[in-house]
Structure 1
């Protein structure tokens, strides 16, 4: 595993620190008036979700971990476990549904997701950046309201609440960002 200096840590890096795997969420470089410069790093534990704020000086060595990424197809959910299939070897993998958190409703049958592995252990699931959903409930379209920069609430076919522009009606397909859970465009 490559070791990097404390001032080389970037957001998104995965580090081995205090016997655990941590992802750098935020990094800010601080140069106080007295003393040496350091990097203030907000870390998130990839196994249990704990957060930690740590200071790393440039002379500190940290072990950077490389994760293997595999595209796998979602098959079904069984007792809180998501079953994915590797498209090359056809092996099936069971992962806990809480790995996705609040993005779980966007996972659709047959969808290909990217799963990050550390050795044989699955640490995270990344959904496609945008998915198509159907609006099942929203307020009716009112003529003349389209010019205003206003949004109205809508409920999607997967139960997620989003805000949509006034011209979007019930039964329409829209594209939603899976990370921000916001309306993107009409499908």
Structure 2
């Protein structure tokens, strides 16, 4: 593991701090008028999801942890657990369904998901950047309503509501960003 200075912490870094594994969510560098500069870091515990705000001075040393990333295929959900399979060894692992948070509806059967491991413990799951969804319900197109850059609400086949351009209709397939949960383009 590598030790880094407190001012080198970036969002997405995984740190070993206070005996736990923490992901840096937000980092802001502060230079007060009096005293030394420091990094104000919002940390999220990778094991239990708790949050912590911490100050790191440039002289502070923290352990940066590298997580091993493996692509695994989603098989099914059972009793609140998501079952994934390693595509090389065919081993199956179970992760709690809340590991994906509000992006859970975008998980589709057979989808390849990136699972992050620390030693042999699975800590995080990341969906692909973009997924294809079908629009189940949206308002019909009204001619002449496209003077401004307007969007209309639409419900997807997974129950998520997104804003789409007026030319997109019911039954069409669209590409949705799993990061921002926004419409990207037609599929």
* TM-score, structure 2 as length reference: 0.97
Distance in structure 2 (CA, Å) of the matches to 1:148 and 1:34: 50
1:12 aligns with 2:12: yes
Match of 2:47 in 1: 47
1:113 aligns with 2:151: no
SS at match of 1:109: coil
Distance in structure 2 (CA, Å) of the matches to 1:89 and 1:28: 42
Cα shift readout 1:23-48 (whole Å, capped 9, x = no counterpart): 11111122222111111111111112
Distance in structure 2 (CA, Å) of the matches to 1:79 and 1:92: 16
Match of 1:131 in 2: 131
Cα shift readout 1:70-111 (whole Å, capped 9, x = no counterpart): 000111111111111111111111111000111011000110
What's the offset of the Cα at 1:66? 0.6
1:159 aligns with 2:154: no
Q: Runs of 5+ in structure 1 lacking a partner?
A: none
Cα shift readout 1:123-150 (whole Å, capped 9, x = no counterpart): 1110000000000101111112233211
* TM-score, structure 1 as length reference: 0.97
Query: Aligned pair count?
Result: 187
Distance in structure 1 (CA, Å) of the matches to 2:116 and 2:47: 12
SS at match of 1:149: coil
SS at match of 2:116: strand
Match of 1:89 in 2: 89
Distance in structure 1 (CA, Å) of the matches to 2:95 and 2:79: 11
Distance in structure 2 (CA, Å) of the matches to 1:135 and 1:161: 9
Match of 1:78 in 2: 78
Distance in structure 2 (CA, Å) of the matches to 1:31 and 1:14: 24
1:35 aligns with 2:35: yes
SS at match of 2:34: coil
Cα shift readout 1:166-186 (whole Å, capped 9, x = no counterpart): 111000000000111111110
Q: Runs of 5+ in structure 2 lacking a partner?
A: none
Match of 1:143 in 2: 143
